[in-house]
Structure 1
Amino acid sequence: MRKKFFFALLSVVCFSWRASAQSSLLATLNHEGTISTYYGSSALQEAYNAADHGDVITLSSGSFLGTDIKKAITLRGAGMTVDTVAHTEPTVISSNFNIDVSDTLSHRLTMEGIYSNQTVTVSTLKNAMFLKCRFKDVNYNSNSSTMKDLNFIHCRIAEGFNLATNCSASFLNCVVMNPYQGNSNNSVFSFTNCYVNNSELQHSEYKNCIINKNNTGFSTTTFYNNLWLTSNSNIACPNKTNVTISPDDERVSFLNVAYNDDNDYQLTDAVRTLIKGTDGTEVGIHGGSLPYDPTPTNPQITKFNVAAKSTADGKLSVDIEVNSAN
């Protein structure tokens, strides 16, 4: 059910408006039940500066200046794609940002519905959750960075994901381009129902994935029911539940291409008949118990209008519409 909330004629006390207040860019900060609002391209920065661990920042569609993240907050956007049903456009973080959240905190960092075409650099991060986000490149600050138990669901990594030494990350129904281990003996990846490109990882696991890499894998990595785009038929793994197909085969030519945000990785019937996942559903991002869906689970700000000036009695007309799929 979609819910709509309208707030009009809000009282303004000692209120001083700047030009940015008329902008459609909006960030709200929920701190212990108290809601604060910020406007304009710097709204994320201002909301973050006022936030504490455990707080929730919600962003409208639009492009926001980035900020380094050192607090275990929940950051929610309107999505990483144009949503014609919810009538929302992506929430874009337009600049590089660093993540350095202490691994001793009781709260954890959560990000959902964010689009970034910049570099995200991680110094310290543990048990974080990324939902329905699109990142260009995720890298470590140094090979001694802490990247422990990172979880990605319905995300897209467009260029690369570099995991530091003695670290771990899991991906569920994601598109992951060029994953890399800082140390192949101590860094562990887990992929379930993913599309993984140019992957050459040890001591990791692939299950129900599409692997686009013309090699034979490693015996230290486990592979279960994967469709492997490779010209090598002898896969180096203990089980024989994988299917190989030449990347030049016309049936999979649409999968053997450079990354594109518009590629939905929907399998044709000809590909679905080649192999099933361990659960009997199709391999790749649209299979499994949680098929890929880029729509955020959190409420999305779909409309935000502010009157040009307040009324004579000090009231200002504000119209906010929020859609929720829940």
Structure 2
Amino acid sequence: MKSLYTFMLLVLCSTISINAQKVVALHSPTNGVQYFDGTSALQDAYNAAVATDTIYLPGGTFTPPALFDKQLTIFGAGHHPDATSATQATTISAHVYLGDNADGFYLEGVNISGSLYLGDANDVSVNDIVVKRNHFDSLIAQGTGDTNTSNNNLFVENVIYSLSTHNLRSSSFSNNIIEHRSNGPFFNLQFVNNVFITSYYNGSYPIITYANSCVFRNNIFLQEYTYLCSGDGQSEWMNNIFCHSNPTLGLDPVLTSNYNMSRADVLVDQTGSIFDYVHDYHLKTGALSNLGDDGTQTGLYGGVYPWKDFSIPTNPHIVSKTISGSSDASGNIQVDITVEAQDN
């Protein structure tokens, strides 16, 4: 834990010393710690990194490499505006592409201005990745899904605009907020404790397309239209909250202990068809009694990965900083920094 505190403090202090440029830290068990600044800081850190290295991104905006094709761990400062006032949010300013050699990639605490791409149209696979507490547009797993598919990936506590996963199998989505359409085909995927906000074109298309042999547990579907899911392979639906009395759930769905509620009675404060940071996704009193299959809450705050308010990353978090406006006779300035460890 001390080493993580040191990284965060050194990054901030280095930022001050080079006239407020953002400094990216690269930690390598092989090559030690290196620092990079300037407009190409993330690219330079990536170029210097080898597999299993860790990159720490401070708040600010960074241009990504054209392809992440190494097994790396990347931590940002977070994306929620209320939790990043001291550092700014960490933003990656373009699409993020993961290549065939990025198996085991870990990404946490960033806002991606574009989409997250797994592989390419030639069925390049990306396996065993973890994507946690990020905010991005679409998750796109390309290819036909017939061969070399992407497997065993975990997406947890993210805000995702939409899914387009033609090349993704045997992966899990837990405790995410998914704004719009989830476009399959999906094969052997698990969706657990997510909140699905809205339908597509006011119910003209299902919010989930082509779900085959998937499992949906403890989710909340805010769609108020009947056409919720299509698919020609049987899926299981357990302990979900539906905001329609009889939603369409694909071919011969297996239904166990699901709930039907008015949308207005489910969440404390959520309106409209898009995600907003000012919303409150906690359950109202009446919905709290509709438990998941594991005995915890349905939705974001239940399950194995309960949602962390403000989406603060798991690495130590800078919660405040004060920098004096002038220097003393020796040229020193006063810097006060408060850093908090995170328990999860």
Could you tell me which runs of 5 or more consecutive residues in structure 1 were left unpaired when the two chains were aligned: 11-16
The 2-side partners of 1:63 and 1:85 are apart by 13
Q: Select the structure that is richer in helix.
A: 2
Partner of 2:144: 143
How many angstroms does 1:325 deviate by?
A: 2.4
| Contact preservation (8 Å) 2:64, 2:96 | yes
SS in 2 for 1:30: strand
SS in 2 for 1:22: coil
Number of aligned positions between the proteins: 306
CA RMSD of superposed structures (Å): 3.9
- TM-score of the superposed pair, with normalisation by structure 2: 0.75
| Contact preservation (8 Å) 1:225, 1:241 | yes
| Contact preservation (8 Å) 1:61, 1:78 | yes
| Contact preservation (8 Å) 1:224, 1:242 | yes
The yes-or-no answer on 1:226 pairing with 2:243 is: no
The 1-side partners of 2:134 and 2:304 are apart by 19
SS in 1 for 2:47: helix
Partner of 1:215: 227
| Contact preservation (8 Å) 1:21, 1:40 | no
The 2-side partners of 1:136 and 1:300 are apart by 25
**1:1-326 residue pairs with structure 2 within 5 A?**
5=6, 21-32=18-29, 34-67=32-65, 68-84=67-83, 87-102=86-101, 108-123=104-119, 124-143=125-144, 146-157=149-160, 159-165=161-167, 167-177=169-179, 178-181=181-184, 183-184=185-186, 187-197=187-197, 198-200=207-209, 201-213=211-223, 214-215=226-227, 217=229, 220-232=234-246, 237-247=253-263, 250-252=264-266, 255=270, 257-262=272-277, 263-273=279-289, 275-293=290-308, 294-300=311-317, 323-325=340-342
Cα shift readout 1:116-148 (whole Å, capped 9, x = no counterpart):
131222213100011111111121343357422
SS in 2 for 1:279: coil
Point out 4+ residue stretches in structure 1 off by more than 6 angstroms.
315-320
- TM-score of the superposed pair, with normalisation by structure 1: 0.79
Q: Which has the higher contact order (CA 8 A, sep 6+)?
A: 1
| Contact preservation (8 Å) 2:218, 2:299 | yes
Q: How much identity, in percent, do the aligned residues show?
A: 23
Cα shift readout 1:123-180 (whole Å, capped 9, x = no counterpart):
13100011111111121343357422110121111x2111124623211111123222
Could you tell me which runs of 5 or more consecutive residues in structure 2 were left unpaired when the two chains were aligned: 120-124, 198-206
| Contact preservation (8 Å) 2:227, 2:248 | no
How many angstroms does 1:66 deviate by?
A: 1.9
The 2-side partners of 1:316 and 1:39 are apart by 22
How many angstroms does 1:26 deviate by?
A: 1.7
